[in-house]
Structure 1
Amino acid sequence: MPTNFLHIDHPDLLSSIADGNEKAMEILFHAYYPRLKYFCLDLMKDAAEAQDIAQDAIAAFWDRREGFRDATVKAAGTFLFTVARNKCLDHKKHLQVRLAKQDEIAGGQEISEDVLEATIIKEDLFNRIFQEVEGLPPNQVELLKMIFVEGLDTLEIAQKLGITPNNVRNQKARALEKLRAVLLKKRLILPFFYLFMKSL
């Protein structure tokens, strides 16, 4: 089957991945990696660690791909986020132990399961919003990902795109207005502001 026609909702995507089709795996990667990285960043508060853990989760799925031949993409996503969550939890626990041994953890907070559950709920909302973002024009999708996924500010975006900060602000305003109209229809505008107000 030609992989040019595969997309994230294609019924044969996971069976193609199970067969070792790297092009099919790229589709899953591009659909989930930004979300995994955001999810891990929210837990770890460290961009480099979040990136590493997100990549590890993708690699873990690839290693177990044959077991997902007849699964749904949703099941694959659940696996990816479960692996990422567990790796974040393990990393934090190891860090706490190391700091404790060094007597540098006075009053340190334990990892709360409630916090993890809240983060998973936030991730579900993020996924729903992310799907709507993907429906915007490509240039607006790129800009919004720079803002909300990469966490870049106006000047950093201007430098990356080779345009003026004022141009970035104008494009950002247009993209947000278009996204706002879409989210209002889907009743996602309040979750959007809850998740991303700090980035605006």
Structure 2
Amino acid sequence: MINDLLLIKKVKEGDIKAFEILFRKYYPPLSYYSVTITGSSDAAEDIIQDLFYVLWRERERIQILSSLKSYLYNAVRNRSLQYCDKRKLDQRYRISSLNPSSQDTEQDSLNGIEYRELEEIIKKSLERMPSRRVEIFRMHRFGNQKYREIAEALSVSVKTVEAEMTKALKEIRKEIELHTSIL
């Protein structure tokens, strides 16, 4: 069996056979990992296929600083979280556009502004948090995953997931309280 360093070297040189070996080796575990984040096998399939397409297309420019496995898993995690964020945004848009009783009253406008402000506060708060905490928060809140599922996907304990969620929510609450006290 060819090791990953040799495999990626051959892929960078345009060796299609090496790429096929890489694909066959990593497609199943990456698909499973993506499903644990997205909750959708169809989405996972699209994410993984797109990742491998980009990997082949950009093969000469790709810089893998750690292990190939880490690189692929990080890429899948990022793409899967982006999918979850987009899906959540799409759901919000569909719900708001299907609401026939929504009128342009002063109260509706105020609620819309408050909601957008709240989203912005949460977004800024997440930007200041450690990446692992943000990842756990997004997997739970946007990916609708249970703590146990997150723990398995990230190879950490359920207690770690609980602790990170508690810290994330505490930081967000503090930011919201700070913002509302200013107003």
Q: How high is the TM-score relative to the length of structure 1?
A: 0.47
Alignment of 1:52 onto 2:84: no
CA distance in 1, matches of 2:27, 2:73: 10
Q: 2:74 matched to which residue of 1? A: 82
Give CA-to-partner distance per residue, 1:60-107, whole Å, 9 cap, x none.
2223322468x58x6222221111111111111111111112227xxx
Aligned length: 111
CA separation of 1:101 and 1:75: change in aligned 2, threshold 3 A: same
Distance 2:76 2:7 in 1: 22
Equivalents in 2 of 1:111, 1:12: separation in Å? Answer: 35
Aligned residues of 2:37 and 2:143 also touching (Cα < 8 A): no
Listed as ranges, the gaps of 5+ residues in structure 2 are 97-139, 157-183
Tell me the amino acid that sits aligned with residue 15 of structure 1: K
Distance 1:13 1:25 in 2: 8
Mapped partners of 1:83, 1:49: distance in 2: 14
Partner of 2:30: 36
Query: 1:144-183 to 2 correspondence within 5 Å?
Result: none
Residues 117, 78 of structure 1: CA spacing in aligned structure 2 closer, same or farther, 3 A cutoff?
farther
Bigger RCO (CA 8 Å, 6+ sep) = 2
| Cα distance in structure 2, aligned partners of 1:8 and 1:49 | 30
Instruction: Give the SS at the match of 1:65.
Output: coil
Listed as ranges, the gaps of 5+ residues in structure 1 are 1-6, 123-200
* Counterparts of 1:64 and 1:76, CA distance in 2: 15
Matching residue's letter, 1:30: R
Equivalent of 1:13 in 7, 28, 38: 7
2:95 is aligned, of 103, 124, 130, to 103
Match of 2:16 among 3, 18, 22: 22
Task: Letter of the 1:82 partner, please give it.
Answer: N
Structure 1 pair 103–11 and aligned structure 2 pair: CA distance change class (3 A): closer
Identical amino acids, percent of aligned pairs: 24
Which amino acid letter does the alignment assign opposite residue 14 of structure 1?
Answer: I
Q: Given residue 95 of structure 2, which amino acid in structure 1 is its aligned partner?
A: D
The alpha-carbon distance between structure 1 residues 84 and 111, as it changes in their structure 2 partners (threshold 3 A), is same
Q: Deviations 1:28-69 (Å, cap 9, x if unpaired)?
A: 111100011111111112111111111112222223322468
Q: Alpha carbons of 1:120 and 1:62: their partners in 2 closer, same or farther (altered >3 Å)? A: farther
- CA 1:76–1:65: 2 relative to 1, 3 Å: farther
